[in-house]
A and B are shown apart, each in its own frame.
Chain A
């Protein structure tokens, strides 16, 4: 079993919420992701069985959505936007800086399993770019100094990437 009893129960509870069982697919992907941190074929197959849809259906849909890693990633998945508005504000320099700091390429994970670096498409935070998403949070108006502080904090076992602060937008 790849999924906890709790997640399995949550998936079961979704089965009758919508007109079709299949409509619970996307919410199920979120549940699996929340528990496992990625969507592997094994986890997806099991979720499909619990939901009562075919394994093909869940893999077909899940493979489309880039929000969910399909393989295990580092504890902190750094998703840096490198679309136009953030790039105009220096996002690419920032990606280069993070690469250098962590000694990894985009797409890779540090050997200690702490950080994975991704570049992602527009996060809808163009007015406060450059921006990166780590866990549930956006980190906005990024500078090298801010990145230094964040990486240090995370390296020292600080605040979890998924922790939430009440007002995340820096307007």
Chain B
């Protein structure tokens, strides 16, 4: 097993309690930062570490921070994005539930770096237990003087509030998330202006994912060079890979960026259930284009997966064996995006509905020969034509499935029987 950063103490009893977290080296980075570094120096270290956002886009965190205006007089906000909802992804939940102080320490250091005095942790509404755990940890941190006024005598003030979501995937998108915190119907906002310039209540705002910020204490403790010794040159650090579907040992695995997908599935994940042949893998959460079994000799980092025509995304690896009907699987994904489209942009609102309708028609045996091209055409017309990335997220899997498994869709549209043995009911 390779060295772990985020999950080092995840199974340690009572790691969620502040005493245990401190005993295991917790809050040393915060002490060090407040004593030794100016905020800009923290930004520089994070920039130098080339830590990249773990929510899906992979944007360098330090660079994002440096987009904040230097001389504004408006308050600056930090939002921790814990609205984890991308099908196939379940890492932030574990981080919040079992090591909440790691996240909180990361959030405090990050807030200090960007000169923020009010931060929000947005946790999806279904995550009751993680929200309780984070809430309890915030109180413990406050009691120890790590939060509130004059933190550790440094003169720095910070309050962190939890906001619980209401069951909407779109709120993981940063502009919808801000609308949600503001109490509005959370439709995404047009960008620019980008949140770093005009975000929450019109003020400069930074939004970072839970896993991203959980890395911060370790980077500040050990330095940018240490962090870069993990992973690949352009995708440094470790990553939590979420394995699900037809795999023997589903779960979260923290491994260096760039681990081979085949190794991930067969060595760490224990291979395919019942030793069946692999058919396909979605490598980075439901929105990322699918890979065929013969394409899995690929490294799991941002660059390698982009070169393979897909994305690392949130690293939700969904594994399907030979019995899976691809039309049925795609309908599951499309139904999700139809349900979660906020309705603001017509291509996404109408397109996801049309795509789901066509897929359902196919599964009912009522598909028409021209449906495959029609489906492709709709997906292509959503792509790049919406305010937020949900449209792309809905279109990409459709395009990917059709590119890789077109014959299955054509077969079903020409009166053939669905392939495989796994067909999901649909409504």
**Known contacts A88-B246, A136-B128, A168-B129; is-contact A122 B336 (Cβ 8 Å):** yes
Interchain CA distance A108-B182 in the complex, whole Å: 34
Q: Which of B85, B92, B183, B286 contacts A84 (CB 8 A)?
A: B286
Interchain CA distance A137-B87 in the complex, whole Å: 19
**Known contacts A27-B163, A30-B164; is-contact A22 B184 (Cβ 8 Å):** yes
User: Does any Cβ of A come within 8 Å of B86's Cβ?
Assistant: yes
Residues of B within 8 A of A123 (CB): 126
Interface bits B153-186 vs A (CB < 8 Å: 1, else 0): 0000000010111111100000000001111111
Residues of B within 8 A of A84 (CB): 87-88, 245, 282, 286, 318, 329, 332-333, 336
**Known contacts A64-B166, A84-B332; is-contact A19 B201 (Cβ 8 Å):** yes
Residues of A within 8 A of B127 (CB): 124
Number of B residues near A (Cβ < 8 Å) is 61
Q: Which of A10-68 contact B (CB under 8 A)?
A: 17, 19-20, 22-27, 29-30, 53, 57, 60-68
Number of A residues near B (Cβ < 8 Å) is 51
Residues of A within 8 A of B333 (CB): 84
User: Does any Cβ of A come within 8 Å of B37's Cβ?
Assistant: no
Residues of A within 8 A of B129 (CB): 136-138, 164, 168-169
Q: Which of A24, A88, A89, A124 contacts B124 (CB 8 A)?
A: A124
User: Does any Cβ of A come within 8 Å of B94's Cβ?
Assistant: yes
User: Does any Cβ of A come within 8 Å of B8's Cβ?
Assistant: no
Interface stretch among B53-61, B107-115, B374-382, B419-427?
Answer: B419-427
Does B167 lie within 8 Å of A26, measured CB to CB? no
Residues of B within 8 A of A60 (CB): 185
The residue of chain B having its C-beta at the shortest distance from the C-beta of A93 within the complex is B425
Residues of B within 8 A of A83 (CB): 87, 286, 332, 336
User: Does any Cβ of B come within 8 Å of A7's Cβ?
Assistant: no
Q: Which of B125, B181, B251 contacts A171 (CB 8 A)?
A: B251
Q: Which of B125-145 contact A (CB under 8 A)?
A: 125-129, 132
**Known contacts A87-B332, A127-B251; is-contact A26 B87 (Cβ 8 Å):** no
**Known contacts A67-B126, A92-B425, A122-B336; is-contact A127 B184 (Cβ 8 Å):** no
Q: Which of A25, A63, A87, A106 contacts B183 (CB 8 A)?
A: A25
Interchain CA distance A56-B415 in the complex, whole Å: 50
**Known contacts A20-B183, A67-B166, A126-B87; is-contact A87 B424 (Cβ 8 Å):** yes
A-B contacts, 20 listed (Cβ < 8 Å): A24-B183, A26-B181, A27-B164, A29-B166, A67-B167, A82-B332, A83-B336, A84-B286, A85-B88, A85-B244, A88-B246, A88-B324, A96-B425, A121-B87, A122-B86, A124-B93, A126-B90, A126-B242, A169-B93, A169-B97
Query: Which residues in B have some Cβ–Cβ distance to A below 8 Å?
Result: 84-90, 92-94, 97-98, 124-129, 132, 161, 163-169, 180-186, 201, 242-246, 250-252, 282, 286, 316, 318-320, 324, 329, 332-333, 336, 339-340, 342, 422, 424-425, 427
